[in-house]
Structure 1
Amino acid sequence: MIQHTFGLLVQPSSQWKRITALSESSFKTLLLYPWFLAIIPSVAWYYGTTHIGWSVGDGEVIKLTRESARTICILFYLTQVACLAAIGYFIHWMADTYGAASSISKGIIIASLAATPMFIAGAVGFYPILWLDMLIGIVAVCWAVYLMYLGIPIVMGIPEERGFLFSSAVMGVALVILICLMVGAVILWDFGAAPAFTD
């Protein structure tokens, strides 16, 4: 799995082709990919928010309590995996419209592999610096979008023009899921998952 991670970061086009050429059993093992890589940002942000902390401007350093950070990071981990599963389901659901043969597992694998830069960029949480984390996050999101637009036509075996429309529809679904996440976070705060800060 690690070779796919590195390959998608440095040679994305050829790596997507290699992934497409995998046997059915090897391809399905990639369903474990998000379960492993989602650990990186979850652990990084747990450590960074409890041990290092962050500050805005020249203000005091803010840290979360360990209990609060643990709850939030577990929810963060599960949310990453659930969002990729949801996006993968919609990739599968829309495949017929764009003339592609698909399965739910294929959709989840495409979504998960395209999210590789965001998983890796999540490591910035080990040392939270707001402006740097935002900058790296924006670059990671841009690269993930590029991977999605590049990967869908290759893996689904459809022309690039149709792949562009397909990928654009997937991006629309991802934005809707992002809005749902924001609403869900506010609701979870009311049910006890609000951050608790150290004194």
Structure 2
Amino acid sequence: MTAHFVKLFTHPNFAWTEIREEEEHHPRHYLGHLLLLSLIPAVCLFIGTTLVGWGLAENETVKLSQASALQLSGLLYLTILAGVVIMGLFIRWMSRTFDARPTANQCIGFVAYTATPFFVAGVTGLYPERWLAVTLLGLASIYSTFLLYTGLPTFMRVRKEEGLLFSTCTWGVGLLVLVTMLVLMILIWFNVLTPEYMRPPVTS
């Protein structure tokens, strides 16, 4: 996992070739990568919302109770895993239009590796500030898009022309899945789990 993690940022073309070969010989090889790196945003969010907090107004810092933060972190972790699986199944379905015939596991693995920059950007949870989150998640989005367009033709073994169209379709569906999963997570968070906020006492 570590070797692929580093190579995705330093030598992505070589990384995709190695990842494809390993996934062919060892199905579900991506699980370690997905399950471990998905913990980064979840754990960082727990720490940030309980120890650091965020500002809703000037000179006011709001935090979550540990129980509420644990619920939010667990929900985020499950949402990430579900989103990766759903996106992988969408790619498997779309592959029928092209010459690629990947398995469902290979498609889920491809999504897991492509989403690596988003996992790393999850460190923004340690310091819940809007400007930092927007900056790092924006950079993660750009690099994930790069990994998608460079990696899909290699991983799916399709021609570059098909790979470009396949990647574009994947990007569009991915955006839809991302927005849908986040909206569902927020609705569950507010309407089912009922967050418990910890505000500092008011001083006169």
Match status 1:127 vs 2:133: no
Cα deviations by residue, 1:24-56 (Å, 9 ceiling, x for unpaired): 343531133211110111000100110011225
CA contact (8 A) 1:19 1:27 kept: no
Please report how far the alpha carbon of residue 174 of structure 1 lies from its aligned counterpart in structure 2 after TM superposition. 1.4
Structure 2: gaps (5+ residues)? 200-204
- Offset of residue 153 of structure 1: 0.4
Equivalent residue of 2:55, what SS? coil
- Answer with 1 or 2: which has the greater Rg: 2
Q: CA 1:23–1:33 in 2, change beyond 3 Å: closer, same or farther?
A: closer
Please, what TM-score do these two structures have when normalized by structure 2? 0.90
Shift of 1:123: 1.4
RMSD of aligned alpha carbons: 1.8
1:76 aligns to 2:109 (yes or no): no
Cα distance change on mapping 1:186 and 1:40 into 2, 3 Å: closer
Once residues 167 and 55 of structure 1 are traced to their aligned partners in structure 2, the CA distance between those partners, rounded to angstroms, is 39
1:132 Cα offset (Å)? 1.6
Q: How far did 1:57 drift?
A: 7.1
- Post-superposition offset of 1:2: 1.1
1:83/1:23 CA distance change after superposition, 3 Å: closer
Provide the rounded CA distance (Å) in 2 between the counterparts of 1:184 and 1:105: 25
Superposition deviation, residue 152 in structure 1: 0.8
How far off is 1:93 after superposition? 1.1
Q: Which residue of 2 aligns with 1:157?
A: 157
Higher helix share: 1
2 CA distance for matches of 1:112 and 1:106? 10
Gaps of 5+ in 1: none
Deviates more, 1:163-172 or 1:104-113: 163-172
- C-alpha separation between the residues in 2 aligned to 1:103 and 1:111? 13
Query: Partner of 2:36 in structure 1?
Result: 36
The residue that corresponds to 1:117 in the other structure is: 117
